[in-house]
Amino acid sequence: QVQLVESGGGLVQPGGSLRLSCVASGNIFSINVMGWYRRAPGKQRELVATITNGGRINYIDSMKGRFTISRDNDKKTVYLQMNGLEPEDTAVYYCNADITLSISLDRRNYWGQGTQVTVSS
């Protein structure tokens, strides 16, 4: 069984920074894509950023210049460095991964439980 565990959320003032982490564990052969999504109160979930095994990155335009996604393949971890946070960034942030399982080599999609980010003065 594969698990994704997020950490790093919290309460910050506008202009502050946070770094989110997501660690994958379990019967993993390879992680093809990892990324971050978020859901603000009263809104639908939206993509924040993704990164492929080869390092190709996709951001939504509003995050460019403020957020940076990266991954450590050896640690099976994806990070989201968030700078210049604004109240509009308040949301639950979810880790997502497309994973090829060991032994069976089946490809599956997994979600973490989410971590709360609150930006308020």
pLDDT for 51 beyond 90: yes
Express each pLDDT in 29-46 by its tens digit.
Answer: 999 999 999 999 999 999
64 Cβ contact partners less than 8 Å away, ≥ 6 residues apart: none
Do residues 114 and 36 touch, judged by C-beta distance below 8 A?
A: no
pLDDT for 1 beyond 90: no
pLDDT for 116 beyond 80: yes
Question: Which amino acid is residue 30, in one-letter code?
Answer: S
Express each pLDDT in 78-103 by its tens digit.
Answer: 999 999 999 999 999 999 999 999 99
What average pLDDT does this structure show over 61-78?
Answer: 89
